Structure 1
């Protein structure tokens, strides 16, 4: 299969409700890329990944629906991009096993998520450093490698905390190519948008489902206003100059605003804008920005059959490729058909 277009692949784990941090870090740049005819984009719901941390079936099912509706509401071009659920691509777990068989265990021992879980056990004084750690958590960088290598993605937009996984995918791809003496996999590159940053949440820590400090993307207008008002600020009075660079409120505004608007807000901080006024301005700006996509999202959530049809079309397009790829890989490792 000729690959004249640059291939870009992005996945989002389906274990929660999409929030502003997801939008800024992953969804917005992905949707912009989906509209570029020189790029072949792959976007998927990483629902196998969700099972690592979430054993609540209703939550996983609801999250899949919410995330699919979110991407579509925000303008994902599903004619150009291939949009699918990971679990609809039957070849992904098969490739994961093949890659597991060439992946060094020592490489997985160094994975940040695994090391953090072990460190937590050691700090808690557990006799077993692996207590509560599943093979899913331990091996999930291999599943992520399969997601990427299956489509020979050139570029994978990620946050800085995911760069290690792209490097692991490169290691695994290189090892497979070497062992089986062929150019079976493209070595992917991590793309970190230096302009995009990890958004702070309501309490100033990273906006994350695990901290329960998120602002959901399509929450109702009144709820959005309430959440913006809850964003943690310092005790400086109106009239006192404020530092925008250490302020979660400013950071959220800047993630959505133009360069000119951001400069103007920075000036207001220097002039000592009151926190109440700043929060009102940020709410008004976010609400205006999200109003139309929110309407589209609510309509989509009322029509899950439409979302299912879109995802099935995407899976068919993806599997046209994955079926051919796996035939080639099966033959490469000695699992080809007898003829």
Structure 2
């Protein structure tokens, strides 16, 4: 039986935080061990350039993300783990897709429309001011990531369903012109993926500068948890766990039995200071083994690079012959043998 291909990209613009872990990394690590699936996980460093023009940040983020996934137990014997820029066929396919993608389709992309709307709201005469072709054609590069490996499923949040629909549109258009080459991918909606609140109560996101990095040292982790906003209820006063940032983070790392116990402590009026200590100890105990592996990996970048190169070779074992077929299909080939 042919394995289903599931593909996920991680943009290299930041340091992995607790929200990334519970919402995307943890379920993906578990999926990497599924023998019935062939998972592709890649560092989307070309995508990073769309919104980040800080070379050192992109390099450091690539290192930290790769070390994070390996430290947490990514099964690279089953999964294909690679850096986007190590597979040149992605960019080549991106151009082929650019030549069949309509500009009207790109005009409807959410990110582009949002950027135009921001310009219009700020009174700019040019609605395209500051918008690069990277941002405009971002969905085409994403489609190339997916279609090069004929991914069956692509895990996405609701805000990225449009990108999968666009990839399907480009694949269908290419197939119509040049024959059947691409499987039409399906969005795997992450409806049950956990979403954590950050230090200020809003969704944990580097855009809000309210994150708790996953592998912060103990002292910094404690300081950040102590900064989490709470209400003014005094010790001894019953507290509602629903909508409480401390509780939501604890719940994402705890067993059902532990959650039930903490709910009872809330009803009994646990103090915020005590709850922050409980949360710190629980998270610290949970991540310490992986943190130690992570720190060791940061000191051994050659091992990380070796893993990425092995993954790139696996990816190119697929992408190179497929790209040769696609070149022939569009008429780009040697004139003589």
Q: Normalization by structure 1: what TM-score?
A: 0.95
Provide the C-alpha distance between the structure 2 equivalents of 1:318 and 1:43, rounded to a whole number of angstroms: 10
Distance 1:190 1:244, change over 3 A: farther
After TM superposition, the structure 1 = structure 2 runs for residues 263-282 of structure 1, keeping only pairs within 5 Å, are 263-282=260-279
Provide the C-alpha distance between the structure 2 equivalents of 1:73 and 1:307, rounded to a whole number of angstroms: 10
Greater displacement, 189-198 / 19-28? 189-198
Q: Which runs of 5+ in 2 are unaligned?
A: none
Whether the aligned pair in 1 keeps the contact of 2:48 and 2:58 (CA below 8 Å) is yes
Q: 1:225 aligned to 2:218?
A: no
Q: 1:243 aligned to 2:240?
A: yes
Deviation, 1:175, is 1.8
Greater displacement, 61-70 / 268-277? 268-277
Provide the C-alpha distance between the structure 1 equivalents of 2:94 and 2:53, rounded to a whole number of angstroms: 21
Whether the aligned pair in 1 keeps the contact of 2:196 and 2:249 (CA below 8 Å) is yes
Deviation, 1:143, is 0.7
Report what 2:148 is aligned to. Answer: 150
Report what 1:128 is aligned to. Answer: 126
Provide the C-alpha distance between the structure 1 equivalents of 2:259 and 2:176, rounded to a whole number of angstroms: 49
> Cα RMSD over matched residues?
1.4
Whether the aligned pair in 2 keeps the contact of 1:196 and 1:255 (CA below 8 Å) is no
Query: Which digits, 9 at most, give the CA deviation of each residue in 1:116-141, with x for residues without a partner?
Result: 21111111111111111111111111
Whether the aligned pair in 1 keeps the contact of 2:4 and 2:38 (CA below 8 Å) is yes
SS of match in other structure, 1:10: strand
Report what 1:20 is aligned to. Answer: 18
Q: 1:162 aligned to 2:160?
A: yes
Deviation, 1:15, is 0.7
Deviation, 1:249, is 1.9
Deviation, 1:335, is 1.3
Whether the aligned pair in 2 keeps the contact of 1:18 and 1:216 (CA below 8 Å) is yes
> 56, 59, 79: which one pairs with 1:58?
56
Distance 1:241 1:186, change over 3 A: farther
Provide the C-alpha distance between the structure 2 equivalents of 1:274 and 1:179, rounded to a whole number of angstroms: 66
SS of match in other structure, 1:231: coil
Distance 1:275 1:7, change over 3 A: same
Provide the C-alpha distance between the structure 1 equivalents of 2:192 and 2:256, rounded to a whole number of angstroms: 11
Distance 1:166 1:265, change over 3 A: farther
Whether the aligned pair in 1 keeps the contact of 2:101 and 2:170 (CA below 8 Å) is yes
Report what 1:32 is aligned to. Answer: 30
**Number of residue pairs the alignment of both structures matches:** 336
SS of match in other structure, 1:157: strand
Q: 1:327 aligned to 2:296?
A: no
SS of match in other structure, 2:131: coil
> 283, 293, 297: which one pairs with 2:290?
293
Deviation, 1:98, is 0.9
SS of match in other structure, 1:277: helix
Q: Which runs of 5+ in 1 are unaligned?
A: none
Whether the aligned pair in 2 keeps the contact of 1:26 and 1:158 (CA below 8 Å) is no
Provide the C-alpha distance between the structure 2 equivalents of 1:250 and 1:191, rounded to a whole number of angstroms: 28
Provide the C-alpha distance between the structure 1 equivalents of 2:82 and 2:92, rounded to a whole number of angstroms: 17
Greater displacement, 280-289 / 109-118? 109-118
Whether the aligned pair in 1 keeps the contact of 2:157 and 2:191 (CA below 8 Å) is no
Whether the aligned pair in 1 keeps the contact of 2:25 and 2:69 (CA below 8 Å) is yes
Distance 1:337 1:258, change over 3 A: farther
Q: Normalization by structure 2: what TM-score?
A: 0.96
Distance 1:269 1:167, change over 3 A: farther
Query: Which digits, 9 at most, give the CA deviation of each residue in 1:50-89, with x for residues without a partner?
Result: 1011111111111111111000000001111111000000
SS of match in other structure, 2:261: helix
Provide the C-alpha distance between the structure 2 equivalents of 1:291 and 1:313, rounded to a whole number of angstroms: 28
